[in-house]
Amino acid sequence: SAVISQKPSRDICQRGTSLTIQCQVDSQVTMMFWYRQQPGQSLTLIATANQGSEATYESGFVIDKFPISRPNLTFSTLTVSNMSPEDSSIYLCSASPNGAQYFGPGTRLLVL
Partner 1 sequence: GQNIDQPTEMTATEGAIVQINCTYQTSGFNGLFWYQQHAGEAPTFLSYNVLDGLEEKGRFSSFLSRSKGYSYLLLKELQMKDSASYLCAVRSLLTGTASKLTFGTGTRLQVTL
Report if residue 73 touches partner 1, rule: CB under 8 A: no
Q: According to CB under 8 A, which one of 36, 46, 97, 104 is a site residue for partner 1?
A: 104
Burial 13-31 (b: 16+ CB within 10 A, else e): beeeeebebbbbbeeebeb
Q: Which is nearer to partner 1, 61 or 81 (CB)?
A: 61
Total binding residues toward partner 1, as defined by CB under 8 A = 24
Separation CA 56–CA 105 (nearest Å)? 23
Q: Which is nearer to partner 1, 1 or 14 (CB)?
A: 1
CA 14 from centroid of its chain's CA atoms? 19
Report if residue 77 touches partner 1, rule: CB under 8 A: no
Q: What is the DSSP letter of 27?
A: S
* Site for partner 1, residues 9 to 38, rule: CB under 8 A: 30-31, 33
Report if residue 71 touches partner 1, rule: CB under 8 A: no
- Measured over the CA atoms of residue 48, residue 38, residue 43 and residue 9, the dihedral's sign is positive
Question: For binding to partner 1 (CB under 8 A), which residues are involved?
Answer: 1, 30-31, 33, 41-45, 48, 50, 56, 90, 92, 94, 96, 99-106
